[in-house]
Amino acid sequence: MNFEHEKTNDILKWFEEISKIPRCSKNEEKICQWLINWAKENDFDAKMDNTGNILIKVPASPGYENSPGVVIQGHVDMVCEKTPDSTHDFSQDPIKLIYDGEWLTADKTTLGADNGIAIAMAIVLALDKDIQHPPLELLFTVDEETGLTGANTLEPGFIEGKILLNVDSEDEGYFTVGCAGGINTYLSLPLHFSEADPGLKHFKLKAGGMKGGHSGIDINAEKANAIRVLGRTLLNVKKEIDINLTDIKGGSAHNAIPRDAEVSFFMSPDGFEKAKSLVAESESIFRNEFCTTDPDIQLILAEDNANPSKALSTEESQKVIEFTLAVPHGVSAMSTDIENLVETSNNFANIKIEDNILKVLTSQRSSIVSRLQGLTQGVEAVARIAGGAAHSGDGYPPWQPNMDSPLLKKSTELYERLYNKKPVVEVIHAGLECGIIGDKYPGMDMISIGPTLKFPHSPDEKIHIGSIGKVWDFMLVLLKELK
């Protein structure tokens, strides 16, 4: 590994070390302890709060002792997604990195550059004694990907700086100054299983080959949702053939568009050929609908060796199928203030049957609190109308942009001076911790930056290597001028 930008080599060396450590959301103990040990080995003051958030203090360089403190912030957890054929065990296996020309990706798993690259950059920044900078606080939060848990539990006084650089954006040359708020909703529908007809055979239908992606950034790309694809296919089959469901599952994280889903059911063996034809017809329809975003959609129907003793009735099977179509998914509203910005959306994220209950997870986002609440109420209503129940989490607030921010003004001027072009100042539909941090620490001046990252929250995730050095150079110039 030898890249043109000297610091890129150092940053990626540390990223490789980080990639050896398991750090799925809610399982970040090892990476947190690793960071505490690293801080102690390098004589930096470090502390961890009750949630696991870590703060490492880096003293100011000579001449900057009285400069305002700067917080460099990222999160330690990653979305753990893999392809169906991957045998990777996220609880213990290192992420296998693949250098592919200008890009770094992983072997059939998410890469974890979201947000491991922030940790690596912060480490290199702290270790370089030649860099001129104010007092630094390296803030690493936990469980960002499943609900911004770490940021939500930050206590007053945990950080002292009044300037914050969040390193969790995904386009070099873009300064993010606002983001959507979000709420997760859990729907449940009680099911009633009865003895299966011994004259029927058991089958499994799998929907796969979809690209998935980040439910904030990619929600307006009109990518296929595997759960919805599966539901529409089942409805197509059930119009002509009686089926009795035994199981259904699909999707994973709340902030990932589902790539795979499957359903098991009993059916008369005489109906197999007809069902196979209907499934092929559905596959053709979906490949046409999603020819640009998901051209490799696959629907596979096959006999299943499992032989469960119980199944849902024909009527209740219909209810489950229609439930998959009734739960909203996709863009609900576009912003009328900012061109091409998704204002409000919902991700139909996960479905499963557990303890005779159909369980569904959805994730709503909006930059307007009232519309976020309104969409959430509508999602909850779907479950209640169907005879089920719903409850929603507390969520997190949107980050309202401050276009008069002194940090934004200085950053824009410096970027233009450094690269002879203006950066793009944007508000995004994804969630960032800045909204919560700004609420907890009034007066915090913030922007979010980061190297170019493609297809986060999916096994196609990759980072543009050349963009890492550009973000690094900008950070150094900015820190030098924050005297």
Q: Does 337 qualify as catalytic in the annotation? A: no
> What gap in Å lies between CA 221 and CA 331, rounded to an integer?
10
Interacting residues of 134 by C-beta distance below 8 A, sequence separation 6+: 60, 64, 67, 68, 69, 70, 479, 482, 483
- In the set 81, 114, 143, 144, the catalytic residue is 144
Structure tokens at 133: 């900078």
> What gap in Å lies between CA 236 and CA 241, rounded to an integer?
9
> What gap in Å lies between CA 197 and CA 186, rounded to an integer?
32
- In the set 77, 137, 170, 316, the catalytic residue is 77
CB 190 within 8 A of CB 473: no
Q: Does 77 qualify as catalytic in the annotation? A: yes
> What gap in Å lies between CA 437 and CA 53, rounded to an integer?
13
CB 180 within 8 A of CB 431: yes
Interacting residues of 93 by C-beta distance below 8 A, sequence separation 6+: 22
Coil/strand/helix, residue 340:
coil
**Which residue spans within 174-287 are E strands per DSSP?**
174-179, 181-190, 193-195, 201-208, 213-214, 244-251, 256-257, 261-267
Amino acid identity of residue 240, one-letter, is E
Dihedral pair phi/psi, residue 71, rounded to 5°:
-100, 125
Q: Which residues pair with 72 in a beta bridge?
A: 138, 165
Largest separation between any pair of C-alpha atoms in the chain: 84
> What gap in Å lies between CA 348 and CA 257, rounded to an integer?
7
Structure tokens at 313: 């009735």
If we measure between CA atoms, which residue out of 5, 2, 1 comes closest to residue 451? 5
Alpha carbon 390 to chain centroid, angstroms: 23
Dihedral pair phi/psi, residue 231, rounded to 5°:
-60, -45
Using alpha carbons only, what angle is made at residue 308 by residues 306 and 312, rounded to the nearest 5 degrees?
Answer: 130
Helix (H) or strand (E) holding 371: helix 369-385
The number of CA neighbours under 13 Å toward the Cβ of 25 is 20
What distance, in Å, lies between the first and last C-alpha atoms of the chain? 35
Q: What value does the CA radius of gyration of the chain take, rounded to a whole number of Å?
A: 24
> What gap in Å lies between CA 37 and CA 39, rounded to an integer?
5
Q: Which residues pair with 351 in a beta bridge?
A: 250, 360
Coil/strand/helix, residue 166:
strand
Catalytic (active-site) positions? 77, 144
